[in-house]
Chain A
């Protein structure tokens, strides 16, 4: 049994353990769950964006062959379930009672013996609507004469405005601006970040299975946070929490879409409770785009005050946030605008002030999703755009202006003007590497030559700072539950391990990376460590995977749990080798006696001993659990450089090259990190140039399916180039920061900056995303730059 196992340090491009089932089509996603006697649910939805419901006639639907039941808002109301709390202290209709507030809002739930019968049942439900005036413009919704959209909460909130939130030093910032107006430079930039949708290829859905005999409710669910969902089901539905089991099986992409609780889940649970049969509800793509949690929809005014030489002094931001009909935004409850106030970014602003007004409109509910790190996408966009505008106004090179203003490496840990303590950073290092990789000087020369010939070439930089790993329990909670995370490790007698974690992969590769973390701590092969998560009956309580928190929080818990295992193994080693613990040294996979390296015990031998020859003063077995309350967030960062050429005849933007330098601290698996970056860059390209979930003035969704909601294919997506710097997080047990959302945070503005840069010489200062060809062409036309 004296096997000396090859060590697997962090930083190995270990091939993924989870691939085996996916490449064979043996993944198990929610819609793959088939249970005996299973019924199917489908939802009747409102065609109107704003209307009173006069009547819901289900009589014809009940006659459709195969239809078993139709649940309406009134039925739910009798059980106190017509409304449910959101993650942002609002309430949301499960099934509409007296009115609908957005197109495609849920009105009734048809239960049938087959998918097809359920659809026929939906078509047979007849609803009488009385249309009301539609409000889709958030600015209009803020006005006193706007129709009140939420009479249900008018005592608490008499207008459409949900909240006003502010942070920072208003007076100090205003004073700095006055000073800059007199003796320096002030730059103002208005920008709109339109509504988009995470649109994972797998839509949302569940199978709810209530067992009348045992009183146990099992729900297979597309969930990024199964434990939180279990607790919420317990509280909202009044079911005993130990009799609820949420299983997040394989999840086909999340990106924040699978964090909220949707009416479909609640209805499926109710239907299963009442019929005693399993009920499957799977939404289709149109339902997914039109009714589940959207992202962005921020109308921003950003201002920077600087010295004449370009040294920034103050940042002032006003934002109007459109949350749709219900504020169902998913973010830590004490931060209604998420982590938006990271918007001072990578720059040393002395003063800053941010305010956000949030308002209801007749659109789908939500607000925070799509790989955004809780509004960091919005924050990073505004500062990187505004810095570029400042650079152009001053006639300074945008790279130079950034270097001048970067927080210096020696300033860390750095307390920002908006009260975040950045753990570590080397912003100049990342930007210089990116510039070197693309030959920045050469590109600027090329641009000048091309410009002289009338060709439009642009170079755009984005030097972003991310903020992830929520977070310290004192400040960060989801629906009241502190945002710790967890890992439980059990090592078997023959030296193999099973670990369970509280986070939930939707493609991030946890079965591999978390095995690598444990493998590195214990000197074991990741092959010998299996990772499980997603089943709330067995996994330790965790807050789930979103906002790039898995590695910073659960990864820390995992390393620390592994160290507890190693600590116990050390005690066993001391006992077996008959020395004191202080006489032992560790090399990956083995404790040995100092000065007598041949005398040692492998981790496998120690595991065996834990069950067969355990020291009498220790508990037998070899397992450990850690619940980790992070001391701080982590701050990944990077610099991206995008090079574009604009077709003067059509306004099409061609991305010639995109160089992404990322720093996520310690890298667990470079292959997986790179894959995350490729995917995130593509989801940064998409909002910059293609995706937009817009509404017409009647509240009709434009972009309600994949014909009009433009997900990039392999043809639109450039060949991404990536590089790395490594600046570990000083407070994280393995120095890792997380990386999944860095590219969505950093990329869009690199592209916009490039396009604006291509046109800056004729005075163009901003173009709102998405940079559709018609929009760019219009700008060209206004400046006499169109061609053949």
Chain B
């Protein structure tokens, strides 16, 4: 029986820039940061959480140059996968991100029957959704 999701991977264009965004802006904590030669095993995770999010850059030795370029192009056009987080106060996080200079929101906090969520992009184009679970103050019907 599988007991937990241990590592999920997303591709980023630059690991330092990713660390700045995911830790300093979004509020995740750094997990592993291990160097082996030119390789850097870098993960972040929800504070106290069990699943490591591995931040990987396309390139050698996993990818030849042409393949890495294709992946980078897909990331920047928003065609790769994303992450969905749960937060206790989505509007507070929204204000905090704005105060930190984050502007790439794909959706302002919006109420639905299942909770309130917002959307943004990481600096490279990956989609991030953040959900505050629970019954929202008003149903989706009141939203345009």
Do A and B pair up? The answer is: no
| Residues of A that sit less than 8 Å from B by CB | none
| Residues of B that sit less than 8 Å from A by CB | none
